[in-house]
């Protein structure tokens, strides 16, 4: 029997939500960062948090938890919980650009949604989730530094190239790149975009995307095509890990496609260990 649909969480559920997120700080970093900054109000949160429970949980464990916003992120839940999330998601037109999170929940939820939302542009079903809470095992590149606001125009082409390579679409499509430009500007302003410049050109870049009180998620790692194989990716990522672990007191995390064997090897060389498995469904 299908459930009537997931329940929208509110401030009464905050203690249970925080407990659920704290149980897996690396896996829940993207959602934790939002909740810590905005609470559970959908307008401030930039999306909704859903639970499979029929009533507020004042104590104990949420049976399922899912964030619905720019991405749909199911963090926990068994098959009935995932069905309830699907029921709620299907009440409206799809607006999320991807379905991402722990592989078991993502792939289970996609089974429920595929008939209405499919076909997906791509399903990445094996993405090791990795973490490092100590200093890297390799020397950090001393030339990798935070990008300055006045360097936006030099940084942006590298960010666009990374996005196209990684996601398979141009982030400038639709609105001419205004939204993507604003997001990159925000990361630079927060000191969370890093690069190595040579002759005014970016040869390595990476960003700290989501950042909770305990974890920072590294994203957008990119090396200029003409400099690949020179070790810039390994040393540059180590520099960002340094910033997270020593400078900001966070655990460094990231997730990577299992088929990207060079990146996996580099992250393991730095000292990252796999702590979970993600999956992503791209629309």
- For residue 276, which of 134, 113, 73, 130 has the smallest C-alpha distance? 130
User: DSSP state, 194?
Assistant: E
All residues at 6 or more sequence positions from 70 whose CB lies less than 8 Å from its CB, including other chains: 46, 47, 96, 97
Percent of the chain with pLDDT over 90: 91
Mean pLDDT computed over every residue of the chain: 94
Q: What are the boundaries of each domain within the chain? A: 7-119, 145-276
pLDDT in tens, 163-186: 999 999 999 998 999 999 999 999
User: How much is the pLDDT for 53?
Assistant: 73
User: How much is the pLDDT for 63?
Assistant: 82
Q: How far is CA 152 from CA 162, 206, 210, 238, in A?
A: 15, 14, 20, 23
All residues at 6 or more sequence positions from 54 whose CB lies less than 8 Å from its CB, including other chains: 7
- Averaged pLDDT for residues 94-110: 97
pTM over 0.85: yes
Reported CATH class of domain 145-276: alpha beta
- For the chain, helix (H) and strand (E) counts, in that order, are 9, 12
How big is the CA angle at 277 (ends 276 and 279), to the nearest 5 degrees?
150
User: How much is the pLDDT for 3?
Assistant: 44
All residues at 6 or more sequence positions from 18 whose CB lies less than 8 Å from its CB, including other chains: 35
Q: Over 90: is that where the pLDDT of 262 sits? A: yes
Q: Over 80: is that where the pLDDT of 58 sits? A: no
User: How much is the pLDDT for 50?
Assistant: 96
């Amino acid at each position: 029997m299908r459930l009537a649909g997931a329940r929208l969480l509110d401030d009464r559920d905050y203690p249970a939500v925080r407990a659920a997120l704290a149980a897996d700080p690396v896996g829940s970093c993207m959602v934790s960062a939002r909740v810590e900054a905005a609470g559970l109000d959908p307008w401030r949160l930039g999306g909704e948090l859903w639970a499979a429970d029929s009533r507020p949980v004042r104590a104990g464990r949420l049976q399922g938890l899912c964030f619905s916003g720019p991405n749909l992120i199911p963090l926990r839940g068994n098959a009935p919980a995932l069905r309830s999330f699907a029921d709620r998601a299907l009440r409206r037109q799809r607006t999320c650009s991807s379905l991402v999170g722990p592989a078991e929940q993502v792939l289970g939820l996609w089974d429920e949604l595929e008939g209405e939302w499919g076909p997906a542009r791509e399903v990445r079903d094996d993405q090791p989730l990795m973490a490092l809470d100590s200093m890297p095992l390799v020397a950090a590149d001393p030339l990798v530094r935070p990008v300055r606001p006045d360097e936006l125009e030099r940084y942006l082409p590298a960010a666009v190239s990374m996005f196209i390579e990684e996601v398979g679409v141009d982030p400038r499509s639709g609105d001419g790149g205004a939204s993507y430009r604003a997001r990159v500007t925000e990361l630079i302003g927060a000191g969370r975009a890093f690069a190595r410049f040579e002759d005014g050109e970016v040869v390595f870049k990476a960003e700290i995307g989501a950042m909770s009180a305990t974890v920072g998620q590294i994203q957008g790692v990119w090396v200029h095509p003409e400099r690949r194989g020179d070790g810039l990716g390994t040393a540059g990522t180590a520099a960002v890990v340094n910033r997270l672990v020593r400078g900001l007191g966070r655990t460094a995390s990231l997730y990577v496609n299992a088929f990207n064997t060079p990146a996996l090897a580099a992250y393991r060389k730095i000292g990252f260990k796999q702590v979970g498995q993600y999956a992503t469904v791209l629309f």
